[in-house]
Structure 1
Amino acid sequence: MGHKVKKIMERIDFIKNDGNVFNLIPRDSLLVRSRESRETHSFIRKEVIGREKEKNAIIDLLLDNNIKERISVIPIVGIGGLGKTALAKLVYNDDTLKTHFELKLWVCVSDDFDIKKVMENIIGSQTNSQLDKVQDDLRKNIGGKKYLLVLDDVWSEDVEQWHELKSLLKDGAKGSKVIVTTRKQKVAEIMGTLAPVVLKGLDEEMAWVLFGQFAFKKEEEPKSPGLEAIGKDIVKKCARGSSCNKNYWKSVVFSKFRK
């Protein structure tokens, strides 16, 4: 048993230090390399753990009718793997918002903040139309309607493009809201009208729950106190500033723990 525990700890050290694979080190060089082409949507595939507080705080802002701005922008900021998109999906699909917004829209922006493409994705139609035509179509789609728009995975720090898009988004009804997910604090400063929601790693309690999903069978607690102690020792070592990404914890467990 002692030999296995040693092997587990060695594997954990390897995983935690392998920032290129798990994107756990928030350095600019890693951020550039990790920016892969991807598409996201509003559908929730898996349960999200440890973000109830942030979820409720964002929903409270979305439901607040006393905010003076015509449209409010709420940034969600954090390094890769902390669950920014997952949190946005939780909020987007919450039942309390069903009757509050007339339109709900989800756009994956990624590193190419092409304003024409973003507008086309908002209206759900990609054409060869001129920019003026796309702008008119956007106004028709959101004009006078209270909407919730999620701009997921924003990287661009182009202030002018954002201001141009924001001026068009103001055609929606007062009380419309925009959620922006980003890894970059500068993006949050440029786009946000409200204080950003800054995500951090899981605490040990939440990390233990997530770890248990892979270490033990469904609804099964560790039968041996020694086994539980080993598991909690692993979690304690991994949880400090760790990722909320389930793939990270899955790799920890399946590397050695279940052999």
Structure 2
Amino acid sequence: GGVGKTTLVQEVFSDNRSKVFDLRIWVYVSEKFDLLKTGKIILSAINRSMGSGTSEKYGPPQNGDLHTIIEQLEHMLPTKRYLIVLDDIWEEGIHNLENLKCMLQHGQKGSKVIITTRMDRIVEKLDCGVLANQGIIRPVHKSDWIELKKLSNEDCWNVMRQAFRRDADLSGVEEIGREIAKKCVGLPSP
């Protein structure tokens, strides 16, 4: 962790160009992937965006099992073009990932799901399929992945130097700065 995956996706999520989506939902997942909780967060966001009548029609998202949540999403997502970010997925349990695909397959054409993860295997398992609305989940090819890597010590130092004016004399701090850059081990955040 700490390479900047979440920061990069936050920039995409908050960019004005992402406002073309009817729904923009951010779900922080973390180590324990609770699919039911994820579904409830998504339903709550949809309810907020559609107004108060929605929760009466479909029932509050706090109630229900996974099947009920998936059923509610099946009725609500086809009316929306969405961008959903699932941040920091660790768990690669195939059952959870299959249910996740099932849960999010009903959006309008152009809907997107962005996943941040430390594990390549998770992305590989979410590769392709057919959507309920006759669309196709486009295969995620390795070439589509954005893999963030650690910076070299020299690149870390160059980033740190940008905190100073261009004409600043760094001779007194360069040695210390390079040591700090080395201790960062290529990660922009501690």
The answer to whether the superposition gives a TM-score over 0.5 is: yes
Report if the CA contact (8 A) 2:26-2:85 is conserved.
yes
Partner of residue 175 from structure 2, selected from 230, 241, 253? 230
**Runs of 5+ consecutive residues of structure 1 not aligned to the other structure:** 1-79, 249-259
Q: Whole-Å Cα distance in 2 between the matches of residues 205 and 141 of structure 1?
A: 50
Note if contact 2:31-2:91 (Cα within 8 Å) is conserved in structure 1: yes
Q: CA RMSD, aligned part only? A: 2.7
Secondary structure, counterpart of 1:98 in structure 2: helix
The correspondence for 2:93, drawn from 149, 158, 171, is 158
Q: Structure 2 unaligned runs (5+)?
A: 45-59, 128-138
- Please report how far the alpha carbon of residue 177 of structure 1 lies from its aligned counterpart in structure 2 after TM superposition: 1.1
TM-score normalised by L of structure 1: 0.54
What is the count of residue pairs matched by the alignment? 161
Matched with 1:183 is 118
Match of 2:104 in 1: 169
- In the alignment, the residues of structure 1 paired with residue 34 and residue 80 of structure 2 have an alpha-carbon distance, to the nearest angstrom, of 24
> Who is 1:93 aligned against?
14
User: Given the alignment of the two structures, is residue 200 of structure 1 paired with residue 149 of structure 2, yes or no?
Assistant: yes
Query: What is the CA deviation profile of residues 128-186 of structure 1, one whole-angstrom value per residue up to 9, with x for unaligned ones?
Result: 32333322322233123221110111011111221122123111112211111111121
Shift of 1:205: 6.3
Q: Is the 8 A contact 2:78 2:107 kept in 1?
A: yes
SS state at 1:97 partner: helix
Contact 2:74-2:103 at 8 Å conserved across structures: yes
User: 2:153 matched to 1:242?
Assistant: no
Q: Secondary structure at the match of 2:124?
A: helix
d(CA) in 1 for partners of 2:73 and 2:173? 55
> What SS does the corresponding residue of 1:234 show, helix, strand or coil?
helix
In structure 2, the partner of 1:129 is 64
C-alpha distance in 1 between matches for 2:156 and 2:61? 42
Aligned partners of 1:115 and 1:161 also within 8 Å: yes
Whether contact under 8 Å (2:160, 2:181) holds in the other structure is no
Do the aligned partners of 2:26 and 2:87 also contact (CA within 8 Å) in 1? yes
Mark the CA change 1:98 to 1:205 in structure 2 (over 3 Å): closer, same or farther. farther
The 1:221–1:147 alpha-carbon spacing in structure 2 relative to 1, beyond 3 Å, is same
Q: Write the deviation string for residues 102-142 of structure 1: whole angstroms up to 9, x where unpaired.
A: 21111111122222211111112651323333223222331
Q: Secondary structure in 1 aligned to 2:151? A: coil
Q: Which has the higher contact order (CA 8 A, sep 6+)?
A: 1
Provide Cα deviations, 1:36-56, integer angstroms capped at 9, x if missing partner: xxxxxxxxxxxxxxxxxxxxx
- The answer on whether the counterparts of 1:107 and 1:151 sit within 8 Å (CA) in structure 2 is yes
